[in-house]
Amino acid sequence: MTLTLKSLKDQVIVITGASSGIGLATALKAARKGAKVVLASRNGEALAKIEDQIKQEGGQAIHVVADVGREADVHKIADAAIGRFGGFDTWVNDAGVSIYGRLSEVTDEDNRRLFDTNFWGLVYGSLAAAQHLRSRNGGAIINIGSVLSDVAIPIQGMYSASKHAVKGFTDALRMELEDENAPISVTLIKPAAINTPYTEHARNYMDEEPTLPPPVYQPDEVADAILYAATHPQRDLFIGGGGKIMSSMNKYAPSVMDWVGENMMIDQQKKKQPAQHHEGSLHHHGHDGEIYGNYDGHVQKSVYTRAKTHPVITGVAIAAASAAAIALLGKNSLNKLDRDLTK
C-alpha cells in the first residue's frame, strides 16, 4: 500500500518528551517549518516557555502537562490536540529516560518506572494515535527506539531491554496496521548516542558521573530524521553510521559485540569524576528547556543518516564529486600529454 503524507506546513504534530533534547529540537524545527505543534511532558513550566517561544517566532503550539506512563494522561494529550486543532497527523513518541547501573543493583521500583515511561508510554501513545489516524485518513506514528533496540550494552541493561521491547511492539503494530490496510506509516528511529541532557536525566547507581559512549551525534540529526519520516513513510532510520555498524555487527558477529560490551562499553560510560546527579528525572521531571547535553568529547553530524534521508541531494553531490574528479583526472591527463608532446 502506497502512503502519502502531508507536508509539514499542513500538519499537526504531537511530540511527547518535548521539554528537552530530541523532543524539543523536533518541536522547534517542526514549528519553524509551519507545523502546528502539541508539546507534552511532565514539566509544565518548561513547556509554557517553549510554547511562548514558538508563538513569538510566528508558529502555533499548545502544551499539555502529562506523564506518558499513565494511559489517562496520554488520552489527555490526544484530546487537547483534537480540541485545539481538530486532530493531529503525526504522533512522535519521544519521552524516555535511562538508568546507569548493574542489573543486580537497580531496584524493581526504578526498573518498573523506566518501563512505564519508555515502553508503556510509547504503547499508549501509539495506540491512541492509531485510533485517531484511522478516522483521519491516515498519518504517521514515529517511535524513538535506539541502536540499543538491536544491541544490548552493560550498565544500561534495563534501558536496552526497554528499547528492545519498543522495537518488538513497533514492528508488530506496523504489520497489524498494514494487514488492516490502514493508511498509517509506522517508523522506528534508532539513534546512536546523542548529545542531549540524557545523562543528566538518567538515574545513576554508579560512583562515577555517567557519560555517553562514542561516537556521539547532534540531536538536530534526529530531529531532521523525525520530520523526514513525518512526510516520507519509512520503516526505520538509524541516526549515525556508528549505530548502523553496531547493529550489523551484532547481527552477523554477536560474539564480537559481546566482547566490545564487556571490555570497552563499561569504561566508556563513566567519567573520571564523582557522580553528581544520582536521582535524575526518573520519578519526577528534571531541569528542562535545553536541547544539548554536557558531553565533553567530539560531537559529530551523521553523513550516513543524511544520505538516507536526502538520497537525491546525496546522489547529486556524489555525481558532482565524481564529475569533478573525472574532470581533474582528464585535465591532468591532457597536461601530461602536452608535456610529453613538447619534449
Annotated catalytic sites, by residue? 159
Q: Are 13 and 230 in contact (CB under 8 A)?
A: yes
Nearest to 96 by CA among 290, 282, 286: 282
**Burial of 277 by CB count in 10 Å (0-12 exposed, 13-18 middle, 19+ buried)?**
middle
Strand partners, 184: 139
**What cell numbers appear for 108 in the block?**
524493581
3-class SS at 102?
Answer: coil
Nearest to 244 by CA among 210, 215, 211: 215
Cβ-based neighbour number of residue 336 at 10 Å: 10
3-class SS at 270?
Answer: strand
What DSSP letter does each residue of 3-37 carry, written as one string?
-----GGG-EEEEESTTSHHHHHHHHHHHHTT-EE
